[in-house]
Amino acid sequence: MQGQGQVVIAHELGHFIGLEHTESFDIMRAATPEPLIGGAGDMLLGRGWHGAAFPDDAGGARFLYPASNATNIFATAQQLVNGQIVETNTPAFANVCRGGLFSLTYTVGNNGNTNVNNYGFRIYLTQTPGVASGGVTLFTSSNASSSATASWTESRILTVPSNLPLGTWWIQWQVDTNNQYGESLETDNFVHSGKVLSINC
């Protein structure tokens, strides 16, 4: 997997510049880091490579290389809890009827060193994971903000549309929906949750 190769190269480069193994969930962890949920190549309720370093890891790289400059916000299906990266939603099917409510926890990170303000954000449903356009929008905002080298996580209660076709629906969220910011990485702006909705009533 291309992403895993990138992890190995980054890990070994860390040794080259003098970094030792760590116990925390970062690029220098002794064991191969577990890929993030919801990224490109993710299998049904499985794990796939997300491709974006969490802000704390990117901050460490900028400390070592202070001349670097980048703008990059990203959507992720994990969050930092006490220094550890954990899932925002445990992979599972949730049975919900049309018109019913469900809870979603989501995370957005900024691993650039510039603040990004007033960008578009949305939560939407698709019947094919990994789709950035289209879908059924559940929530939108035009004034989301992410501070440099930071991440934020929140939960929201959402309503399944009463006219949503029956079937399996993936929950996704997307940042910079209008592509108003030029970013160092444009392929990490959307992600799907480990939670999948099964609409059968």
| Rounded Cα distance, 104 and 119, in Å | 21
| pLDDT (tens digit per residue) in 8-36 | 777 777 777 777 776 554 667 655 444 44
28 in a structural domain:
no
19 in a structural domain:
no
| Rounded Cα distance, 114 and 39, in Å | 24
30 in a structural domain:
no
Tokens of 163: 């006219």
73 in a structural domain:
yes
Structural domains counted in the chain: 1
Lowest mean pLDDT among 3-7, 21-25, 30-34, 123-127: 30-34
36 in a structural domain:
no
- pTM here? 0.75
61 in a structural domain:
no
Write out the residue range of the structural domain in which residue 119 sits. 69-199
Sort strands 190-199 and 167-175 into parallel, antiparallel or unpaired: antiparallel
Mean pLDDT of the chain: 80
- The CATH number assigned to the domain holding 85 equals 2.60.40.10
90 in a structural domain:
yes
| pLDDT (tens digit per residue) in 49-77 | 445 677 777 777 767 766 667 788 988 88
Instruction: State percent of the chain over pLDDT 90.
Output: 35
**144 vs 42, residue with greater confidence:** 144
* Residue-level pLDDT at 42: 47
* Residue-level pLDDT at 155: 94
